[in-house]
């Protein structure tokens, strides 16, 4: 089990906010990484309720993350119909989860938790074979996927790791609900939520992102929902596989899960986890600071659209670790492509 140390606290704008700082861990990789060995799991889809089997398999350098619907192949579909690249351009739906689709219309739902785990473990290249329309929810967090990656092991490849450096602020949304990216050293995220339920209320959290801080402070945060919304969600074809085993369920001002919360502010930490997964669809690590306020998958995807629509807002760069944790030195810049 992954354990979390209590976050340090500093006073910002008159409120005590958790500032989750990375601590010493393995050397940050400047080379691309993939898995050493394939690894398999089974589970159910959070929204579809369907049982699925999934295999994470090594991939060559510069492949990126590619999903393969093996059930489509089994039905005689061509490889291009079964393959879906993990990319912001392929996001087809953002209601309650992030859904990818290829040009042939093949879809795959709820990719954000797995994508967050890959970003947190710095896995760049992977072939993910799955025999159904949705990534298994596991326990509702990214921790089971981190465990799978650790069991399979990772290895460096010969190709240099590239990143996307944010050069000027971009945003999407309005004064109340918005997502923003702005220039920074390294990658960091901040999120704010505000619910009427006394079980959640207002929560704010900021994290300086690296593999250690992700594993310790974000990966175990579970998805959450409200019991009064379940019937409507199921009527819309969503949350069919949801249960107390894979989500934090709130009823009025109470958390219904017998084991309670994994973190006192687990709700906002899960929103950070979702943001990490959604932003991983940029196709490379980001160098910049993300801020989200009362927003979700829709805002995160539109934020990437805003970023890449303006060539002056970003650039490709290659990396070497900086002296400070979580930061990077930019050592080379390539033209945007």
Helices and strands (H and E) in the chain: how many:
8, 23
Segment (H or E) for 42: strand 39-44
The torsion angles phi and psi of 320, rounded to 5 degrees, stand at -140, 150
297: annotated active-site residue = yes
Please state the φ and ψ torsions of residue 66, each to the nearest 5 degrees.
-125, 125
Candidate list 297, 298, 299, 305, residue with the active-site label? 297
φ/ψ (deg, to 5) at 316:
-75, 145
Single out the residue of 36, 108, 122, 105 nearest to residue 67, CA to CA. Answer: 108
130 in Cβ contact with 70 (< 8 Å)? yes
**Ranges of H-type helices in the chain:** 70-74, 79-82, 112-120, 143-152, 211-213, 230-235, 266-279, 297-308
Q: Which residues contact 118 (CB under 8 A, 6 or more apart)?
A: 65, 126, 145, 149, 280
Annotated active-site positions, please? Answer: 297
């Amino acid at each position: 089990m992954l354990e979390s140390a209590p976050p340090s606290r500093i006073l910002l704008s008159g409120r005590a906010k958790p500032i989750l700082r990375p601590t010493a861990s393995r050397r940050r990789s400047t080379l691309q990484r993939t898995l050493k060995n394939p690894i398999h799991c089974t589970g159910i889809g959070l929204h579809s309720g369907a049982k699925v089997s999934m295999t994470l398999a090594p991939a060559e350098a510069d492949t990126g993350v590619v999903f393969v619907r093996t059930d489509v192949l089994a039905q005689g579909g061509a490889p291009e119909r079964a393959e879906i690249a993990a990319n912001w351009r392929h996001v087809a739906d953002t209601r309650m989860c992030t859904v990818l689709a290829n040009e042939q219309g093949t879809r795959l739902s709820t990719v954000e938790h797995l994508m967050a785990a890959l970003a947190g473990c710095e896995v760049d290249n992977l072939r993910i074979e799955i025999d159904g329309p949705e990534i298994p929810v596991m326990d509702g967090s990214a921790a089971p996927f981190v465990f799978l990656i650790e069991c399979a092991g990772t290895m460096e490849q010969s190709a240099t790791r590239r990143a996307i450096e944010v050069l000027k602020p971009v945003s999407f949304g309005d004064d109340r609900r918005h997502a923003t990216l702005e220039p920074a050293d390294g990658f960091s995220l901040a999120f704010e939520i505000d619910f009427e339920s006394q079980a959640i209320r207002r929560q704010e959290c900021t994290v300086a992102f690296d593999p250690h801080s992700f594993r310790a402070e974000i990966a175990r945060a579970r998805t959450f929902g409200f019991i009064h919304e379940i019937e409507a969600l199921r009527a819309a074809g969503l949350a069919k596989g949801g249960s107390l085993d894979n989500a934090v369920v709130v009823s009025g001002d109470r958390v219904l899960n017998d084991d309670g919360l994994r973190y006192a502010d687990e709700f906002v930490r899960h929103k950070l986890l979702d943001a990490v997964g959604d932003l991983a669809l940029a196709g490379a690590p980001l160098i910049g600071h993300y801020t989200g306020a009362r927003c979700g998958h829709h805002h995160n995807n539109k934020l990437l659209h805003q970023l890449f629509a303006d060539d002056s807002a970003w650039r490709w760069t290659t990396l070497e670790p900086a002296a400070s944790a979580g930061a990077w030195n930019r050592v080379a810049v390539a033209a945007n492509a």
